[in-house]
Amino acid sequence: MKRIGMLTSGGDCQALNAAMRGVVKSLSNCLSDLEIYGFLDGFRGLIYGDYRMLSGRDFSGILTKGGTILGSSRTPFKTLDEPGDDGINKVEAMKKNYRDLSLDCLVILGGNGSHKTANRLREEGLNIVTLPKTIDNDLYGTDMTFGFQSAVDIATGAIDCIHTTADSHRRIFIVEIMGHKTGWLTLNAGMAGGADIILIPEIPYEMDKIINAIEERDRKGSKFTILAVAEGALSKDRAALSKREFKELMKDYPYPSVSYEIADEIRKRTDREVRVTVPGHMQRGGSPCPYDRVFASRLGAEAGKLIAEEEYGFMVGIRNREIVKVPLAEVAGKLKTLDPGASIVKEAKLLGISFGD
Three-class SS state of 59: helix
d(CA 226, CA 119): 41
Three-class SS state of 323: strand
For 3, 126, 189, the CA distances from 313, given in Å and listed in that order, are 17, 9, 34
How would you class 38 by CB atoms within 10 Å of its CB: exposed for 0-12, middle for 13-18, buried for 19 or more?
Answer: buried
d(CA 80, CA 247): 23
Judge whether 201 and 183 are in contact, CB under 8 Å. Answer: yes
Residue type, 108: I
Nearest to 108 by CA among 119, 92, 95, 93: 119
Q: Output Rg (C-alpha) for the chain, integer angstroms.
A: 22
One of 136, 138, 153, 196 is an active-site residue; which one?
136
d(CA 78, CA 224): 45
For 182, 216, 299, the CA distances from 238, given in Å and listed in that order, are 16, 26, 39
Q: Identify whether 136 is a catalytic site residue.
A: yes
d(CA 15, CA 242): 37
Sequence-separated (6 or more) residues with CB below 8 Å from residue 246? 238
Residue type, 355: F
* Beta bridge partners of residue 51, listed in sequence order: 39
Positions annotated as catalytic residues are 136
